[in-house]
């Protein structure tokens, strides 16, 4: 248990950040799952639109330090490659 005023405040801030990070990480994963689902259905245009919506969310997560830049690039690259492979 935090004893000092400063430690109590840091605990409050850490809990608030944890909730925000969890929520944003969930949003990011959901946006990626939407793209994957549309790729599996075979709708290239809808998948491309969902990809365009997911990219800023993934970039934002990387910018906030929620995920590493390389992980963000890897996800975007793989999703885009799947979309391009659709014919």
81 DSSP assignment: H
Beta-carbon contacts of 39 under 8 Å, excluding residues fewer than 6 positions away, are 47, 79, 82, 83, 86
68 DSSP assignment: -
Asked if residue 25 lies in contact with residue 68, where contact means CB atoms within 8 angstroms, the answer is no
pLDDT band at 73 (very low <50, low <70, confident <90, very high): very high
pTM equals 0.88
| pLDDT over 90 at 1, yes or no | no
For residue range 27-65, what is the model confidence (pLDDT) as tens digits? 999 999 999 999 999 999 999 999 999 999 999 999 999
Asked if residue 78 lies in contact with residue 34, where contact means CB atoms within 8 angstroms, the answer is no
Residue-range domains of the chain with CATH:
5-85 (1.20.58.110)
């Amino acid at each position: 248990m935090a004893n000092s005023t400063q430690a109590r405040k840091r605990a409050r801030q850490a809990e608030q950040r944890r909730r925000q990070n969890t929520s944003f990480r969930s949003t990011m994963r959901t946006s990626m799952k939407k793209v994957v689902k549309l790729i599996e259905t075979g709708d290239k245009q809808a998948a491309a639109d969902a990809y365009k919506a997911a990219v800023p969310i993934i970039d934002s997560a990387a910018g906030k330090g929620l995920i590493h830049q390389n992980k963000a690039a890897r996800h975007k690259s793989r999703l885009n490659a799947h979309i391009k492979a659709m014919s």
